[in-house]
Amino acid sequence: MYNPKISVIVPVYKAEGFLSRCVESILGQSYHNIELLLIDDGSPDNSGIICDDYASIDNRVRVFHKKNGGVSSARNCGLDNASGDLIFFCDSDDWIDEDTFEVCIHSKANDIVQIPRDGGSNLKYYEEDIYCTKKRHLIHFICDNFTYEIWGKLYKKEVIGDVRFPLEISVGEDVIFLLAVYCNVSSYYISSSVGMYHYNDANSDSIMTTLLQKEKNDELMIKKLLVLKQVHWTLTYFFISTYYWRLCLKRDDLLINFWKSFPLFGISYHSLSLKSMIKILLLCICGGYKSVVK
């Protein structure tokens, strides 16, 4: 019987008001072979004490107290200490249904199992489970069903390997992590069970919302995208082009005018190589950071 151990990683910072709901939803799973890694990221409130209280009553809880370093640092701490076969990320203000892991485990064995959420923006529901197990079709499958969040997905630990979240940027780290992980993926499963991951809109830090608020991180994020040791250009192009056109909705005059002023405007853009198309988009996003894309 397939009975893998699931490591659930929860970064904790100023979470005393909602942490218990998150923790209890994880410990109350109908699937019991789990470990819960609570990473206290130097939280100044009582979050660390709450973490220790749970560890004292349930031996599946492991607590790590560390100096504040941000959510990427906390997640990396969890990855470095996870002992499970599978990895699941959950934010401290979110929660999951009690059968979430049971459903995931009984899905087809895949490198990544993705579950729906019932909050946030750009919700997409599926009438039936869909999956892809053919490597040559996988990138297009991921692009067709792409989500920017790392949570709400159950990963085989081996596909994450030594991939970690970049520490020098505070925005876009999830996407950089996902692009690197996707290079190692051979199969992907999307569950149609609705509302298993409950996302707290009140504390939204979704990438598209935050990227628009912190544009100064664009150059650093893009440099990271370009220096990935492994990168699939189709997937990278998909992300960057989606990001660019979403930005246009917010800053349409600035970005579209820059696009139109580009020397290749009017020439068949899609006749270029993927690398060239990516460079053009990066120039538009960054407002001409030529050093980024030389």
Specify whether the CB–CB gap between 34 and 59 falls below 8 A: no
At residue 43, the 3 state secondary structure works out as coil
State pLDDT tens for residues 235-285: 666 666 665 555 555 555 555 555 555 554 445 555 566 566 666 666 555
Separation of alpha carbons 134 and 237, rounded Å: 21
Separation of alpha carbons 108 and 139, rounded Å: 19
Ordered by where they begin, the domains of the chain are: 6-201 (3.90.550.10), 214-293 (no CATH)
* Residue 90 falls in which region: left (phi positive, over 0), alpha (psi -120 to 50) or beta: beta
Residues 6+ apart with CB under 8 A from 288: 258
The answer to which of 95-109, 133-147, 196-210 has the lowest mean pLDDT is 196-210
Tell me which DSSP letter residue 210 carries: H
Kindly tell me the burial class for residue 240, based on how many C-beta atoms sit within 10 Å of its own C-beta (0-12, 13-18, 19 or more).
buried
Residue at token pair 């990138």: 139
State pLDDT tens for residues 135-166: 777 777 777 777 778 999 999 999 999 999 98
Q: Both tokens of residue 129?
A: 């489970």
